Homo-oligomer: A and B are copies of this chain.
């Protein structure tokens, strides 16, 4: 498959205010569940919160090890599972067999356009599609919980390269 990098359009990480919200939410969840704040978890979550895009465990591990080379990959897996469980991270699958993680911001939802050549990922939001989905669910008497919607194609730059 083509998802080798996670270059983004509009790639900007969250600001300090949002970062604090994320840490607060995490802290509340951990307190509530008797979980402990360890140096490894702090490194992993901080790296993730300051990151941009849709990162694989491997990519996260590399970044994490720049700060603490001793951290094992099982810890990264476990910490991202934790973030997923408390609703701070979305786990995405773009068809290449690896899980990718992205920050789940409150009141924000988007889907993805993925370039099969260079792996560029563009986020999109479309209220009309969301509305049509709700309509479809209603028509078939389903209570919608979540959805996946990915468009795969070739981006303009990659198309250009081939000519």
Interface residues of chain A, those whose CB is within 8 Å of chain B, are 9, 93, 95, 113, 115-116, 122, 124, 126, 128-129, 132-133, 136-137, 140-156, 159
Copy tally for this chain in the complex stands at 2
Q: Give me 22 A-to-B residue pairs in the complex whose CB atoms sit less than 8 angstroms apart, sorted by A's number.
A: A9-B140, A93-B93, A95-B148, A113-B136, A122-B140, A122-B142, A126-B132, A128-B128, A129-B129, A133-B151, A142-B151, A142-B154, A142-B155, A143-B159, A144-B151, A144-B152, A144-B153, A145-B153, A145-B154, A146-B153, A148-B152, A149-B150
Please state if A152 and B147 are interface contacts (CB–CB under 8 Å): yes
Q: Is the CB of A128 within 8 A of B136?
A: no
> Quick check: B149 and A148 within 8 Å, CB to CB?
yes
